[in-house]
Amino acid sequence: MRITVRRGDITVQDTDAIVNAANSALAGGGGVDGAIHAAAGPELAAACRELRRTVLPRGLAVGQAVATTAGRLPARWVIHTVGPNRHAGQTDPALLASCFTSSLDVAAGLGARSIAFPAVSAGVYGWDVEEVARIALDAVRGWRGAPGHALQEQEDGGIAEVRFVLFGAAQEAAFRRAAGG
């Protein structure tokens, strides 16, 4: 599995899936969440409402992930994950790591070969970007696939590329440091 880091706009990535730093209501919001919903168009909001109506009436739990179609985005799927909010006392690094591993599990279940992540919980949720970068890279490097999903990239069609797409220079630099380059 190749891991890359770049600065850019996650909504224009040509990966099979992009990850949305969502709120538990899957209702769209600010930051990455708002940008993804705006770029995807009303199809994404409709898919999220349907999930809430049928499968997630109480919302998506912190650290968990769920997929929808991607609306007008170039990606095939949007994988929504709810990061822990440090301001609300959610300070367990395992919850943050779970955002990344749960998203990879969902992507593998969909058959995605590539996935793009933002800096989940950095910014408005109060986590330091250096800590997010370290936890994210460790989680991705340690991921071994969901039960029943092989990590073999060529023969079994596993995830071949994980791309971290960061909005600003400071986030990009933190992720590059965590990636070792």
Other Cβ atoms less than 10 A from the Cβ of 105: the count is 20
Residue 116, beta-bridge partner list = 18, 163
Residue of 151, 149, 179, 153 whose CA lies nearest to 166? 179
For the question of residue 138 being annotated catalytic, the response is: no
* Secondary structure (3-state) at 117: strand
Out of 9, 16, 33, 156, which one is annotated catalytic? 33
Total length of the chain:
181
Burial label, 172 (beta-carbon count in 10 A; 0-12, 13-18, 19+): buried
Terminal CA-CA length for the chain: 17
**Structure-block tokens of residue 138:** 């460790």
**Structure-block tokens of residue 55:** 């499968």
**Strand 161-166, strand 17-22: pairing:** unpaired
Among all residues, which ones are annotated catalytic? 33
